[in-house]
Chains A and B, each alone.
Chain A
């Protein structure tokens, strides 16, 4: 008898809990629902605000006619390729200059030696 009563109580509790679950589940849903509905209402407002601008200008590109940058690039632009050819030619000039200086030095030494030997 006792067992039957306890079983009945347990069953009743389970039923109550089971029926309460949707209620619990319902609780959060009104929050997003109400949150969604206000956010949905500003969206049309935002859409209607820019639209007069293209309407004035009569342009066919409303998607990009928002008065701002629609896609912001990442990083910094690479707008300069170093003139490599210039530095290579500079290197050649420096090398040529050094060779000429060496040749001049050799010639001077040759001259001094010749004079020293009395020729």
Chain B
């Protein structure tokens, strides 16, 4: 019965080989590339930074991490925490409507998910990769645009969220982008990733 033994061995070896292949990582759906359209995020007729009037943001573009997203409005949740965008496949960023609009004097606050549960990556999946000097453009409802330059990116424990640094008054137009980050604890992330940026150019 030697042929039978060989067959059994061959089947076993094939099974082990298949298991080894199957144990690999599954393909990630969205390896975010570099700016798909850097030109669209540029401000050809950019003027030196000046304080803009109030106009809500409708689009946010971050070429360095391939973000080009519509912007929704967010308010307060019943527990007085800030609302976050819904967990959907077409994840988008949200602007906290009790903060200044981008380009106004003060800290304009925008939020987005890092991951959206079963839908995979969130719109701010790679926010932590931003570096000092990267450009962020907020396009406003009235047709103007405000370009910001990243000053710093901080990862902080949610337990020590820097409320004053994020929401506190500043005497110039600034931008805050917030998402989650750090290691996961159950279904939640331990940290927040916060991008601090200042206004560098505007279009009228």
Q: Which A residues are within 8 Å of any B CB, using their own CB?
A: 53-54, 56-59, 61, 64-86, 89, 93-94, 96-101, 103-108, 110-111, 114-115, 119
Contacts and interface: CB of A to CB of B under 8 A. Distances in A.
In this complex, which of A61, A76, A83, A100 has the most chain B Cβ atoms within 10 angstroms of its Cβ? A76
B38 interface: no
B192 to A, nearest CB: 5
Interface stretch (B60-68, B102-110, B130-138): B102-110
Given A77-B84, A111-B8, 8 more contacts: A69-B100, A69-B168, A73-B80, A75-B80, A77-B180, A80-B180, A81-B87, A83-B115
B44 interface: no
Q: Is the interface of B mostly helix, strand, loop or mixed?
A: mixed
Interface in B20-67: 20, 22-23, 26, 52-55
Contacts of A76: 81, 158-159, 161, 192
A57 B142 CA distance: 12
B197 interface: no
24 contacts: A58-B53, A59-B54, A64-B98, A67-B169, A68-B107, A70-B98, A72-B167, A74-B80, A76-B192, A77-B111, A79-B192, A80-B179, A81-B187, A82-B188, A83-B116, A84-B117, A93-B23, A93-B26, A94-B23, A96-B19, A97-B19, A104-B16, A107-B15, A114-B5
Contacts of A58: 53
Contacts of A84: 117-118, 187
Contact of A69 (B12, B23, B99): B99
B199 to A, nearest CB: 13
A15 B76 CA distance: 60
B76 A111 contact: no
Interface in B177-198: 178-181, 184, 186-189, 192
A82 B117 contact: yes
Contact of A56 (B26, B53, B109, B114): B53
Contact of B189 (A71, A74, A80): A80
Interface string B155-179: 0001101010001110000000011
B118 A85 contact: yes
A104 B45 CA distance: 67
